[in-house]
Chains A and B, each alone.
Chain A
Amino acid sequence: MSPPDAPHLVVRQVSKRFGAAHVLDRVDLTIAHGELVTLLGPSGCGKTTLLRMIAGLESPDFGAIELAGRDITRVPPHRRNVGFVFQSYALFPHLTVYGNVAFGLKSRGRTRGDIDAAVKRALSLVHLEHLGARRIAALSGGQQQRVALARAIAVEPEVLLFDEALSALDRKLREEMQVELRLLLREIGATAIFVTHDQDEALTMSDRVAVMFAGRIEQVAEPRVVYARPASLFTLGFVGLSTRIPGTVAASGEGRVEVDTAIGRLSAIGNFIVGAPVILAVRPEHLRPAAAPSGNCASGRVRSIVFHGANSLIEIEAVAETTLLAQTANDASAHLKVGDATRLCWPVAETFAFPDPGAGA
């Protein structure tokens, strides 16, 4: 993926309140041309409101939105040239598949020949070229999803906006569509923003993920960075699994801290003053049964094993009610059983320290 060059979509200090509640709180976001970005967060975090604002279906109380070099903050939706794919698809039930896809082109006053060519192209991109005359009610959920997509891309919008667009599909179809959609968007060079609460979808689909919580963007980064280097405790918890151990900083220096915890002294990445309450975190795939201890280590007893095909997720009960989460490959070696005693170690470089939000309160 190329780094963001000329900004295509700029969201600047956008805020919105409904009554006393901040739906969006000074949100900044810059998206390059051709970039696929996901707004990821729990329901109520403001991600859908932000998406609808970019489409012009909501208006911000403060802040500005620029698209392709034009300030569109106060431009009504029908003059924005955006494509929007709704969660419920919002297809026009009284029109055929063709009529739905042609709607945006007709609104733009294109000629008959132009419309016909564009509809055919859009329908063939989503592999529905043979269903143009079909009524919407006669389509399956997956086909309706494709029509909604074809309708949005037919007008070649400046940006495509997807509001939980895949969430109505069943799991297998959704995973296929994720891959197909990403390829399709790359092929037509589209700039797209997805809104989802599904972390797998976010990690699969996007060049960058913006993790949102309580009306703010917590972190914007490539999927692997969001996962491997979460910027906040919220991101850590929302994307992927982790072991969390509270403790107090005993020594600090050069980007590393020594932390006293219930399971002993551990090292982690971070800058804190001595005595600060922190939470240490590590992803499960870094915990390994170790012959020769290196980095951070802890002993415990296997409490449960959840089989996931290629690997298993193991819960280990350490001392002082601390639970460690480890993911191990299901190869022939080292089969742990429930009740086994084991010692696990993990690299200091994969151990993050976050300020403990519960300690200061």
Chain B
Amino acid sequence: MTVAAAPAPPRGSSVDREQSMALAFLAPSLLFLLLAFVTPLVLLLGVSVSGRSGLSLESYAKLLGTGYYLNVIWNSLRLALLTTILALAIAYPAAFALARARGMVRTALLSCLFLPLAASVIVKAFAWTILLRSDGIVNRILIALHVIDAPIRMIFTETALVVGSVNIFLPFMVLPIYAVVTQLDRRLMEAAATLGAPPVAAFLKIVVPLTMPGVIAGVALVFSLAVSAYVVPTLLIGELYPTLASTIAKAYLLARDPQFGAAAGVVLLIIAIIVVTLSARLAGRENDR
């Protein structure tokens, strides 16, 4: 096989022009982000390293050096990981169902996906506590059906936490995958079939790689949201499962230790940045292939 020459680059002038146009369009949002996002972040970074007597890394040492806080970080990661995996497992087929649906069915399915976004996350988390508490609907139904004799503990378990978290963040996984699936040319599957690929092989070799950008985007979104979730763990499991987000809240609201809170915030941010950067890299590679 010969190595192909690189395609001729477009003329320089038009590229320059395009880039300056793009920059002009981006300017308002860049300015906004600078004021509303970068400035507070710089302040946060400053607070996280300023102790009572000047520069100090003790908050980071405490976070990364104590078993309790390492466990807190692990809790956040674990919740994010479980939520992401489960959400992906549910969202991937759902996105295809959504893309295949037509007319009223499609509208109904899309509404099911979008409408919950209009309800506050607090409302949804409370709804789960009502469903799952010991005299809640799920326990009553199970008892009425004689599946169980006495109420089982569902609320304040990790299962409840993950179920609630998946429910709340699911739309953020479905939508990017759905967007990619609707772009998928069905002829590609037919082409694979006429070339001798059985349906499963065609799916793995054609559909999976082509939907990967949507999967990566969904994973990045849901992971970032779940790793920093505050309301969901607080309401569905509480003190049993301290997370980075709840640690930040406690540091600011109860312990009045802004340095520690800021440090925890920076750690959370770094985790999110790593995930998003990795995803962007992966997505870029997918597009380059």
Contacts and interface: CB of A to CB of B under 8 A. Distances in A.
Given A107-B201, A129-B2, A56 B187 contact: no
Interface in A68-117: 76-84, 86, 88, 90-95, 98, 103-104, 107-108, 116
Nearest to B208: A94
Nearest to B3: A133
A82 B194 CA distance: 6
Nearest to B210: A94
A351 B3 CA distance: 61
A130 interface: yes
Interface string A127-138: 001111111001
Nearest to A81: B196
Contacts of B148: none
A92 B195 CA distance: 12
Contact of B194 (A57, A94, A138): A57
Interface residues of B, number: 26
A76 B197 CA distance: 10
Contacts of B191: 84, 86, 90-92, 151
Contacts of B193: 56-57, 76-78
Nearest to B188: A90
Nearest to A135: B289
Interface residues of A, number: 40
Nearest to A79: B196
Interface string B153-196: 00000000000000000000000000000000101101111111
A92 B203 CA distance: 12
B197 A138 contact: no
Nearest to A86: B187
A130 B185 contact: no
A23 interface: no
Contact of A77 (B4, B190, B205, B286): B190
A90 B187 contact: yes
Q: Which of A57, A76, A107, A132 has the most CB of B within 10 A?
A: A107
A155 interface: yes
B261 to A, nearest CB: 45
Contacts of A90: 185, 187-188, 190-191
A103 B192 contact: yes
B85 interface: no
Interface in A225-253: none
Contacts of B194: 55-57, 77-78, 80, 82-84, 152, 161
Contacts of A151: 191, 195
Given A90-B185, A138-B7, 13 more contacts: A55-B194, A57-B193, A77-B194, A81-B196, A82-B194, A84-B194, A90-B187, A90-B190, A129-B2, A133-B4, A135-B289, A152-B194, A155-B196
27 contacts: A55-B194, A56-B193, A57-B190, A76-B198, A78-B195, A78-B199, A81-B196, A86-B191, A88-B185, A90-B187, A91-B191, A92-B192, A93-B210, A94-B206, A94-B289, A103-B195, A103-B205, A104-B195, A104-B196, A107-B197, A130-B4, A133-B1, A138-B7, A151-B195, A152-B194, A155-B195, A155-B196
Interface of B: 1-4, 7, 185, 187-188, 190-199, 201-202, 205-206, 209-210, 286, 289
Q: Which 7 residue pairs across A and B have the least CB separation, nearest first? A: A104-B195, A90-B187, A107-B196, A84-B194, A90-B191, A77-B193, A133-B4
